[in-house]
Amino acid sequence: MPYDPMLVQPMREDMTAMQVEELTDAAAVDAFMAREGTKLVFVNSVCGCAAGQARPALRLALQHGTKPDHVGTVFAGQDVEATMKARGHFEQVPPSSPSVALFKGSELAFFMPRHLIESRDANAIAFDLVGAFDEHCA
């Protein structure tokens, strides 16, 4: 059952404040994934243990010179249809949230599952994301 929209609104605003595009339905995900270039999909979550560090980590990583051409987010447990649709593009890996998927075209180039986010600080997570940007987005 989704959380109260009022509760999750600040977590959505964390994303939109860094100019990340909210993908709230399947059509938005389809349109996003159809774009040319490199794309990052951030699977947002209410979980404080992991997402509480993942969002600031993404903000830090997006300040790097090399970054994906397009950055979008779906909210697990909230925007259920959009999240299912997005996960269909990386169905070779188990679903987890929060998580980060980076695509070159339609090919999954990098995936950071929840367990590699938990218990780490934002700087450490951002470091790994920047490494992936340098490798796949340059």
Partner 1 sequence: MGTFHHDKGELHGITVVVDMKDDRVFVGRCDTILPEGVVLLDGDVHDASEVKYDGTKVTKEAYLANAAKFGVWKKFDRVIVPSDDVASIERLGSM
The sign of the CA dihedral 22, 24, 29, 31 is: negative
Binder among 52, 84, 109, 127 for partner 1 (CB under 8 A):
52
- Cβ proximity to partner 1: between 28 and 126 the closer is 126
Catalytic: which of 17, 31, 49, 124? 49
The question of whether 47 is a catalytic residue gets the answer: yes
Site for partner 1 in 79-138 (CB under 8 A): 93-96, 111, 113-120
Catalytic: which of 26, 47, 60, 116? 47
60 is a site residue for partner 1 (CB under 8 A) = no
82-to-13, 66, 72, 117 alpha-carbon distances in Å:
18, 27, 11, 22
Cis omega before residue 98 (within 30°)?
A: yes
Burial class (CB in 10 A: 0-12, 13-18, 19+), 36: exposed
The question of whether 137 is a catalytic residue gets the answer: no
Binder among 46, 60, 84, 109 for partner 1 (CB under 8 A):
46
CB 77 within 8 A of CB 46: yes
- Cβ proximity to partner 1: between 15 and 28 the closer is 15
Residue ranges binding partner 1 (CB under 8 A): 10-11, 14, 45-52, 55, 93-96, 111, 113-120
